[in-house]
Amino acid sequence: MKKFLSGLMAAAMIASATPFAFADGVKERVAVGCGTLAAASDWAREEINEAEELGITEGLKPVWTGGITRSDFGEMAYNTLSRIKEIPFMKVSENPFTDVINAKIFALANIGILKGVGDRIYEPDGILTREEAAEILIRMAKYAEGENYTPLKEDTKYADDSEISDWARNSVYEITALDIMRGTGENFEPKKCYTSEQSAVSLLRLYNKLKGGDKAEETETFADKMNEQMPQDKNYMFSPFSIKMALAMAANGADGDTQAEILKAIDIDNLDKYNENTKNTLKNYSKSDLLKLNVSNSIWLNTDNTNQKFSKKFEDKAADVFGAEAGSVTNKTAVKKINGWVNEKTSGKIPEIITEKNTDFAAMLINAVYFKGRWRNQFDPSETKNDTFTDRNGKKSEIPFMNKTLWAKSGIKDGVRVVELPYQNYDYKSDDGQAEKLGFDISMYLMQSDEKFNAETVLKSAKLNSEYIALSMPKFKVEYSTGLNEMLKKLGIDKAFDERAEFKNMFDSGNAAITDTIHKTYINVDEEGTEAAAVTAISVGTTALPPEPVSVKFDKPFTFVIRDNTSGDILFMGEYVFAE
């Protein structure tokens, strides 16, 4: 059981995957000629450093000039591809292989990137061959670029072309034409082992090729763009996850430029793919008392303000993809019924989202997120002591600080100190009393810098290592409410708010426009863990002895992020700036 648990990674979990033989037989793919030295070669050192900084080798300690195992290459491939494109998140119901338990490998097997060497056999400790590496890299490129993938071919053949397996020949010539892998003089040496340093370098090159070059600027994310518009004079928290899901529901009822503007603003390239991933993600979220992440959606019609009805296509998709409940209200019942639903779905942490002033809607789309998790390493309440917090304006206040010395993943990226505090995700419910890991993995990240930074952008590339730290952080509670109309308009959602709006797909007849967007959040952080909630409502009207510890003290303004490490979704993001 211990081996089982240690093999599970914080990655996408797969419902099932049908393995296919990678080659004609295991004997054909045996790798030869592998080195064993640990130090990287001079030619590879600079690119390896970049790969490490990017997180391609996260969780691994490669013997650089030694042959890479199929398991380690699979993990590197996942670390690379997940930074380029979203990988579907699914629940494990059947292992695709009998000889490996690794969720990153499951994820890539599910989308056809990794395949076995025989029926349900992955051979995780087998050494990867050069032709296998070429095949996997091309599959990654095809998955990342989709319909935009254009194959390239070398004009000349390798002298040892006859030694290249038929199933790998096209990939070998494509990958070398892309200059991601290179031959050895006139030969390719397809059966020779692929080393760890060659793997890191080729995956970095693939990443740079697909991202538009290693010097290309990273696109600012939806979460970071919203965060830039949050107030500077108070503590706040918002849920990019909740806002994005509510707007995605609206996008499913939109068309034309209106839909395009919404999708561009919330970083969705393909709505059908987002719908598919969302459906799988919501199915996987557990309702365990140990780690709760309950996501609820609803759509409402106000029969006093419209004779329209939701179109069958929209209502069916809202139910199928988002699990949305459909309801109807009047001006008299709207406040009680809708707030009752919100109160129930957030366990009373957000008791209301609308007032009597907000009943002039024809339709309303609502997303509610409720999270409750215990720290994997809880704080001892007896160690909680008053300490000084210095706010953004330099004011000092004495408030309770939680304190703990522990091993935690920590690091500094572009001057930003990042500390990961994972929530417990093992439950003891099996018959033998052994711990079973839940199907998702969530952490809070504390981030602090004297300079302005984009939190999600930093998190995507930060390299965190286990450090022994003496952590000190405030207990805190934040409740925040804001309208989103002006923020969303600044992100490029324009036509959805006026008579040019195209929401005809949402209704059986007529059209509508967004009239208001309301967002409320709640978070309480203490010694035991975290409880958080968010609601987004979109109103539519007609026309997330040990070594000496490193001292890490969050005693001045800091950013906090709660992220689903498996899907990469930012569930909540906020700043604690003023002592309260």
Give the end of a domain, one of 210, 244, 270: 210
State residue 317's pLDDT score.
Answer: 96
* Residue 175 included in any domain: yes
Helices and strands: H and E segment counts in the chain = 15, 17
Single-letter code of the amino acid located at 565:
N
Instruction: Let me know: does 294 contact 440? Beta carbons within 8 Å.
Output: no
Residues 197 and 260 in one domain: no
* Residue 457 included in any domain: no
* Residue 448 included in any domain: no
Residues 294 and 187 in one domain: no
Sign of the torsion formed by the C-alpha atoms of 476, 477, 482 and 484: positive
22, pLDDT greater than 50: no
For the beta carbon of residue 539, count every other beta carbon within 10 angstroms: 24
State residue 316's pLDDT score.
Answer: 96
pLDDT-derived band of residue 546, with 50, 70 and 90 as boundaries? Answer: low
pLDDT-derived band of residue 470, with 50, 70 and 90 as boundaries? Answer: very high
Q: Alpha-carbon dihedral of residues 493, 345, 477, 292, nearest 10 degrees?
A: -110
User: β-pairing, 465-474 with 396-413?
Assistant: antiparallel
Give the end of a domain, one of 169, 190, 210: 210
> What is the Cα–Cα distance from 143 to 132, expressed in whole angstroms?
17
Residues 143 and 229 in one domain: no
Mean pLDDT computed over 118-122: 86
State residue 254's pLDDT score.
Answer: 95
> What is the Cα–Cα distance from 371 to 572, expressed in whole angstroms?
10
Mean pLDDT of the chain: 85
State residue 218's pLDDT score.
Answer: 56
153, pLDDT greater than 90: no
Residues 199 and 94 in one domain: yes
Report, in angstroms and rounded to the nearest whole number, the Rg of the chain calculated over CA atoms. 26
State residue 215's pLDDT score.
Answer: 37
Residues 121 and 248 in one domain: no
Q: Alpha-carbon dihedral of residues 464, 467, 472, 474, nearest 10 degrees?
A: 30
State residue 24's pLDDT score.
Answer: 35
| Tokens found for residue 49 | 């450093």
Q: Print the SS3 string covering 277-289.
A: HHHHHHHHCCCCC
Each residue's pLDDT tens digit, 66-112: 899 999 999 999 999 988 888 876 555 556 888 888 888 888 988 89
Give the end of a domain, one of 210, 235, 253: 210
- List, in sequence order, every residue forming a beta bridge with 529; answer none if it has no partner: 374
448, pLDDT greater than 80: yes
Residues 197 and 230 in one domain: no
Residues 252 and 204 in one domain: no
What total number of domains does the chain contain? 2
Each residue's pLDDT tens digit, 392-438: 999 999 999 999 999 999 999 889 999 999 998 766 555 555 555 55
**What's the whole-model pTM score?**
0.63
Residues 166 and 27 in one domain: yes
* Residue 577 included in any domain: no
Each residue's pLDDT tens digit, 258-302: 999 999 999 999 999 999 989 988 887 755 667 888 999 999 999
Instruction: Let me know: does 503 contact 258? Beta carbons within 8 Å.
Output: yes
For the beta carbon of residue 438, count every other beta carbon within 10 angstroms: 20
491, pLDDT greater than 90: yes
DSSP output for 219-262: PPPHHHHHHHTS-SSS-EEE-HHHHHHHHHHHHHT--HHHHHHH
Does 368 or 460 have the greater pLDDT score? 368
State residue 90's pLDDT score.
Answer: 53
370, pLDDT greater than 60: yes
* Residue 421 included in any domain: no
Mean pLDDT computed over 319-328: 96
Residue 532: domain span: 222-374+477-543
* Residue 394 included in any domain: no
Instruction: Let me know: does 561 contact 421? Beta carbons within 8 Å.
Output: no
Residues 8 and 128 in one domain: yes
* Residue 296 included in any domain: yes
| Tokens found for residue 146 | 């989709």
Residues 368 and 511 in one domain: yes
CATH of the domain at 486: 3.30.497.10
DSSP output for 449-518: -SS---HHHHHHH---EEEEEEEEEE-EEEEEEEE-HHHHHHTT--GGGSTT---GGGBSSS--EEEEEE
Rounded percentage of the chain residues whose pLDDT exceeds 90: 58
Segment (H or E) for 315: helix 312-322
* Residue 363 included in any domain: yes
Classify residue 432 as exposed, middle or buried by CB count within 10 Å of its CB (0-12, 13-18, 19+): exposed
pLDDT-derived band of residue 203, with 50, 70 and 90 as boundaries? Answer: very high
Mean pLDDT computed over 375-384: 95
C-alpha angle 280/281/286, rounded to 5°? Answer: 115
Residues 191 and 249 in one domain: no
Residues 191 and 235 in one domain: no
Rounded percentage of the chain residues whose pLDDT exceeds 70: 87
